[in-house]
Chain A
Amino acid sequence: DIQLTQSPSFLSASVGDRVTITCRASQGISSHLAWYQEKPGKAPKLLIYAASTLQSGVPSRFSGSGSGTEFTLTISSLQPEDFATYYCLQLYTYPLTFGGGTKVEIK
Chain B
Amino acid sequence: QLQLQESGPGLVKPSETLSLTCSVSGGSISSSSYRWGWFRQSPGKGLEWIGNIHYSGSIYYNLSLEGRVTISLDTSKNQFSLKLSSVTAADTAVYYCARRKEVAGGWFEPWGQGTLVTVAS
Q: Quick one: given A87-B46, A96-B49, A98-B48, are A46 and B107 in contact (CB under 8 Å)?
A: yes
Tell me if A97 and B49 are in contact (CB < 8 A): yes
Q: Which of B9-17, B20-28, B56-64, B84-92 contacts A (4 or more CB under 8 A)?
A: B56-64
Tell me if A44 and B47 are in contact (CB < 8 A): yes
Cα–Cα, bound, A72→B112 (Å): 27
Does chain A have a CB within 8 A of B67? no
Tell me if A100 and B104 are in contact (CB < 8 A): no
18 A-B contact pairs sorted by A residue (CB < 8 Å) = A30-B105, A31-B105, A34-B107, A36-B47, A43-B114, A44-B47, A46-B107, A49-B104, A49-B105, A53-B104, A87-B46, A89-B47, A92-B105, A94-B60, A96-B62, A98-B47, A99-B46, A101-B46
Chain B residues within 8 Å of A, Cβ to Cβ: 46-49, 52, 60, 62-64, 96, 98, 100, 104-114
